[in-house]
Amino acid sequence: MNLKLKAKILVGIMMLAPAVNIIKIVPDVCAVAREDQENNEELNRQLIAAANIRADFGTARDRAQECENLRRLLQQRADVDATDPLTGDTALHRAVRANRPDFVRLLFEYGANPNIISHDGRAPLDLMYTNDGHVIWEYAVTPELQNLLTDHGARRHSHNVIIVGPPLIDTQRNN
C-alpha cells in the first residue's frame, strides 16, 4: 500500500474514530511509513547499481534480462532520479557511463531527469566530454546515446568541468 493511500485512510479514520483510538493508530501508521521509506531506499540503491552494468559483457539475452531487472525495480516504485549518496550519480549517469542506450531509453520512459548534477559537477551529457570539450570515444559514445539524451532535453552542465579537490599545500612559502 503506498504512502498516499495510507495517509488518506488515516484521515478517514480520524474523521470517524474517537480521539482515543487515533492515538493508538498513529504510531502504527508511522512505523509502516518508516518501513516503506526503508524499502524505497533499498530499491533506489538496487536501481543505481543495476544501471551500472556495461553492455559489452554477456550475451544479448543477458542484456535483455538486465533491462528487465531494471524495469522491475522501476515498477516497484524505485525513484528513477535517486542519487548515490557518495557520488551524486543517478541511474542515468551510470547508464551513460556503461554505454547502455537500452537502459537510458527505459529510464526516460519512467521520467528520468537528464539534467541532475552529480557531486563532481557533471550532468549525464557531460560524461561524454573531456574537460576541453572533446568527445570521449573510449566510452564508445554512440550517436544513439547522445541523441537519446539531447532529445529528452539533456544539457551540458559545464563546458569546462573542473573537479575540485583538497587545497594544495604551498611548499614555497615566504617566511
pLDDT 10s digits, 33-74 = 566 667 788 988 898 888 888 776 778 888 899 999 999 999
Domain spanning 46-151: which superfamily?
A: Ankyrin repeat-containing domain (1.25.40.20)
User: 112: helix, coil or strand?
Assistant: coil
Across the chain, what does the average pLDDT equal? 76
CA atoms 79, 83, 86, 89: torsion sign? positive
Q: Please tell me whether residue 129 adopts helix, strand or coil conformation.
A: strand
Q: Residues 155, 158, 160, 163: is their CA dihedral positive or negative?
A: negative
Cα–Cα separations (whole angstroms), residue 89 to 4, 17, 44: 28, 46, 12
Best-predicted range by mean pLDDT among 12-16, 53-57, 157-161? 53-57
What would the grid cell of residue 27 be?
A: 504510531
**Res 57: pLDDT:** 72
Q: Tell me which H or E stretch contains 89.
A: none
Q: Three cell numbers at 75?
A: 515498477
Lowest mean pLDDT among 3-17, 34-48, 76-90, 154-168: 154-168
